[in-house]
A and B are shown apart, each in its own frame.
Chain A
Amino acid sequence: MEYKVLDCLYEICPIPLLKANKELERMHSGEILVLLTNHNCAISNVVEWAKDKGHEIDYIETGEGEWEIFIEKK
């Protein structure tokens, strides 16, 4: 499956959100962005934001305190 990975490990809030926003603007509808983060605020922050914007979103915990957030552009 095609997707774009955005590494935001060790980045503090709100950098993951800003990077995701920038990346999503360059992407086309239906494309998927995978955001790596170990900052738990990114979960609530990015997830809430993406939902408000109407993107499809989900996330998994890949390690202890590490997450992958999947965003499918609206």
Chain B
Amino acid sequence: MSSKLEMLKKERLKASQAEKPKSKKNQRLYGALLITISIYIAFYLYKRDSILAIAWIFSLGFGFVLQKTRFCFAASFRDPFLVGSTKLFRAVLIALIISSIFFPMIQFPIHKAGVSDYFSLAGLVRPVGIHTLIGGIMFGMGMVVAGGCVSGALTRVGEGFLLQFVVFISISVGTLFGAMHYKFWENAFISSAPIIYLPDIFGYTLAVVIQLSALIIIYYLAYKYHIKRNTMI
């Protein structure tokens, strides 16, 4: 840290506190209240249906992690192009690597029990085709312009960033339209597209090995790209 920045920091901090003194409002009471209410809701849901309580607790956990880490899927796919940073992109890759190891462990017993219906397997095994590409491009453009994907927008709504309220309303309206027109897309593209499930082609072990190798290679390339983009300028 340079001394110049250190001085400026002190100067600006003083000025900002003179302008509008930081309120000493303690938010711990609100926090305790929220946690109590959350626990109460969890118990209430558990009595009705235990899966709802689990979903509730996991949702709170996800929200907490997303907010505290400032993890952002929009940034993870945008920053490699925009500023050449692949840090978040590599974080997504690590998430995929972890899922690639553990999802087959869940899917294998189900598959082995004689379930051949892909929709009953854990995880989203769905048809892949031109609709995947078009949807991805549209969603990608939308989330970069809106400044966040669905989880990102939700997190920021919770933080009180007003603009994301508008984004969240737009997401809701868009999802509604999507649901309305889903039958058309399903008949036109999705139903005729193939489902590619690697374990069916290679067997579970080889499929996991292939997927992990591919992900690790992408990780390595992303890392190289990061180094290259951030040392040239």
Residues of A within 8 A of B (CB): 1, 3, 10, 12-14, 17-18, 21, 30, 32, 34, 38-41, 43-45, 48-49, 52-53, 56-58, 60, 62-65, 68, 70, 72
Contacts A44-B70, A62-B12 given; does A53 touch B161 at CB 8 Å: no
Question: How many chain-B residues does the 8 Å CB contact rule pick out?
Answer: 37
Distance between Cα atoms of A14 and B12 in the complex (Å):
24
Listed from nearest, the 5 A-B pairs whose CB atoms lie closest are: A12-B147, A62-B16, A52-B230, A44-B70, A56-B2
From B2, B13, B160, contact of A60 by CB (8 A): B13
Decide if B148 is an interface residue (CB 8 Å cutoff). yes
Q: Is B9 an interface residue (CB 8 A)?
A: yes
Q: Which residues of B contact A38 (CB under 8 A)?
A: 161
Main secondary structure of the interface of B (DSSP, over half): helix
B159 touches A40 (CB 8 A): yes
Given contacts A48-B85, A58-B1, contact A40 B70 (CB under 8 A): yes
**How long is the Cα–Cα vector from A32 to B2 in the complex, in angstroms?**
11
Contacts of A72 in B (CB 8 A): 2, 4-5
Contact B70 A43 (CB under 8 A): yes
Q: Are B12 and A32 in contact (CB under 8 A)?
A: no
A30 to B4 CA separation, bound complex (whole angstroms): 9
Docked Cα-Cα span, A62 to B13, in Å, equals: 6
Contact (A60, B9) CB under 8 Å given A72-B2, A72-B4: yes
Distance between Cα atoms of A9 and B233 in the complex (Å): 28
- A-B contacts, 11 listed (Cβ < 8 Å): A12-B146, A12-B148, A13-B147, A14-B78, A14-B79, A32-B5, A38-B161, A44-B70, A45-B79, A56-B2, A63-B22
Given the known inter-chain contacts A13-B148, A32-B8, A39-B161, please indicate yes or no for A49 contacting B13, CB distance below 8 A.
Answer: no
**B162, closest chain A residue (CB):** A10
- A48 engages B163 (CB within 8 Å): no
Q: How far is the CA of A13 from the CA of B5 in the complex (A)?
A: 24
Q: Are A53 and B12 in contact (CB under 8 A)?
A: no
With both beta carbons as reference points, the residue of chain B lying nearest to A57 in the complex is identified as B5
142-159 of chain B: CB within 8 A of chain A: 146-148, 156, 159
